[in-house]
Structure 1
Amino acid sequence: MLIEEEAFVLLINVVIFVVGLVVLSWSADRFVYGASALAKNIGVAPMMIGLTIVAMGSSAPEIVVAATASLAGSSDTAVGNALGSNITNIALVLGITVLIKPLLVSSSTLKRELPLMLIVTLIAVYFLADSHLSKIEGVVLITLFVLVIAGMAVLSFTVEKNDPLIAETETEVPSDVPTPNAIFWVIVGIILLPLSAHFLVESAVHIARHFGISDLVIGLTIIAIGTSLPELAASIAGVLKGEDDLALGNIIGSNIFNILAVLAMPGLLNPSVIDGNAANRDSLVMLGLSILLFIFCFNLKGTRRINRIEASILLGIFIGYQFVLFS
């Protein structure tokens, strides 16, 4: 009887997790839609909106989940979400996207963001090296996040006119949306994002406890993969429309924001000792994949195509990493 009751509770939590994930992704999309439309209505340039609001939107689920988990005293879940999302973005999302269609990297904007992603990844590895995330480190990360957003805003005025990212980014900004409608969707997002994140984290923790999985691993796997689904959808849609730079830009921008904004949450809201595996294993996997992406993408001589062989390597690493986590 007790076993049946435990199985029923587990099933309920799985349902809550799935519903929470769907609502989280949907409300993040609606929030970005409303905020982008509102910004355009008040005269903000589409390129600036694309490089700031739309770019941040892909990391909105991770930011809210990390804040919720940190406030609940589960910093390992928040850290796992940040690291796991970056690993998933490069190894799984990019791997699947490139298998569908090889990516041509041509935007000068992306070639500026790639080194930035590598730099902030190194900062994350350094901060986690002592298996402790302090409030000062959280402040440093969130300060860098604000500076990066400001830098992207400035960058929107200096992007070359023939940069392919301009047209691709501007197509993502909604037009002809009445201001009251835009405000409505912003409010919907503000309400549903934290609410769905709360139920998502609570159910994920229960599932982890049931199977004897650590908070770090549940953040690295089920939550990270779940919150990375918007990036997967956006990247596949982008590459199918021939918007290669935008597809890759979503992943690079998301990884930058995951480190600076998502990883900042446990430092700011619940400074504490972190599971040692985050420093000794997971942050190093994230760094290795970031370096690999840099090698695949960065070419000083001109354009560069990420091919299906490289995509297979990324997917192979992801599968092997999941095997290590659960072995």
Structure 2
Amino acid sequence: MAYLLLAVSFALLLGGAVVFTNAVEWAGIRLGLGAGAVGSVLAATATALPESVIPIVAILSGDQSGQIAIGAILGAPFLLATLGMLVIGVSTHMFARRRDNDSKLAVHTPTTARDLIVFGVFIAVAGILGLIGNQSVNVVAAVVFLVAYGVYVWRTVGHGGEQQEEPRPLYFDPTKHDPPHNVTVVAQMLVGVAAIVGGAEVFVTQVEGIAHQVGISPLVLALVLAPLATELPEKTNSVLWTRRGKDALALGNVTGAMVFQSMVPVAVGLAFTPWSFTAPSTLAVGCALAGGGLALYAVLRSRQFTRLSMAAWGVLYAGFVAYVGLAA
């Protein structure tokens, strides 16, 4: 029964993310935001919402020692910087014949590089703070992280580029033809949030129960299971956009989510959990840094994810999963 409920929680998380993302895209249209702002801020934040809600729910439900919260917070940027980049690289090569740029990435290099550098700096600081374990310092750092993300959003919105194309029809719009009303957009957003929060609540409860039954650390389950399920929106969107040659959206959705994950959820963890790392947590940060650094090098050097890069991301992800599996 616990595993069935875990599957139900995944369905709620992903279904809520799809509904919420669709509504957010329409909100971006109504607000007149550029494609860059919608991709790197609105879409990235929307698709990152499931894995961001999980640690909050875990903290509110009294997660012992913050293990599930810390695992969910660190697992998301780790997976995006490894498996997420691997998926984009495989997609560019798989669909090379139908793309105008073959396997080359049609991205705005300064914007992508900025995202990856910001991610690297803040996830590294988060890792250092996790090794220090000083709560007073962590609270101050949490405020700095939130302010820094506000500056990032302000800069991105200010340089958002041309307005995005009209997205798919709003799911809650019965006409499917005319632009939806603002009330309908807001209603769909609220339903999406409710599904995500409900799924997160079920996920946290079942992870705690399963970990107790099989004798595995909740941290390990949260590090691996939570991001693998909740990052599906980013990875699915990236494959579809890459197939259509919209690499700026594909990669921007992932790098924007990486920036968000390294700042906002980390700030929550810094302020409301002990934020003291074990070996799996430290390794997750290290692999995320390595994966993000490799992506930055590939973008600056040739704007192409080579087979060697993809193999390295695969090794980082598989090696980490194998390690935490053995450590459990």
Q: Same fold (TM over 0.5)?
A: yes
Which of 16, 38, 43 lines up with 1:49 in the alignment? Answer: 38
Deviation at 1:21, TM superposition (A): 1.2
Q: Deviations over 1:20-43 (max 9, x none)?
A: 111112212212322332342354
What is the distance in 2 between the residues matched to 1:283 and 1:42? 36
Specify the alignment match of 2:305 in structure 1: 306
User: Superposition pairs for residues 1-327 of structure 1, below 5 Å?
Assistant: 12-74=1-63, 75-102=66-93, 104-105=104-105, 106-108=107-109, 109-131=111-133, 134-156=138-160, 159=161, 170=165, 176-268=179-271, 270-277=272-279, 280-299=282-301, 303-327=302-326
Q: 1:171 to 1:91 in 2, by over 3 A?
A: farther
Deviation at 1:190? Answer: 2.8
1:186-232 Cα distance to aligned partner (Å, 9 max, x none) = 12123222122111111122122222221221121011211111111
Say which is worse superposed, 68-77 or 212-221, in terms of deviation.
68-77
Unpaired runs of at least 5, structure 1: 1-11, 160-165
Alignment TM-score, normalising by the size of structure 2: 0.84
Residue correspondences, number:
303
Contact 2:33 2:157 in 1 (8 A): no
Q: Cα RMSD (Å) of the superposition?
A: 2.3
For structure 2, list consecutive stretches of 5 or more residues without a partner in the other structure: 94-102, 171-178
Q: Structure 1 residue 149: deviation in Å?
A: 1.4
SS where residue 305 of structure 1 aligns? coil
1:148 deviates by 1.6
When residues 273 and 184 of structure 1 are mapped into structure 2, their CA distance, relative to the original with a 3 A threshold, is closer
Q: Could you tell me how far 1:279 is from its partner in structure 2? A: 5.4
CA distance in 2, matches of 1:248, 1:206: 36
Map Cα deviations across residues 133-182 of structure 1 (whole Å, 9 max, x no partner): 633332222222222212211221xx4xxxxxx58x54658682332321
* Equivalent position SS for 2:62: coil
Aligned match of 1:7? none
Q: Indicate conservation of the 8 Å contact 1:78/1:265, yes or no.
A: no
CA separation in 1, counterparts of 2:292 and 2:158? 25
TM-score by structure 1 length? 0.84
Measure, in 1, the Cα distance between the counterparts of 2:248 and 2:34. 19
1:203 is aligned with what amino acid?
A: Q
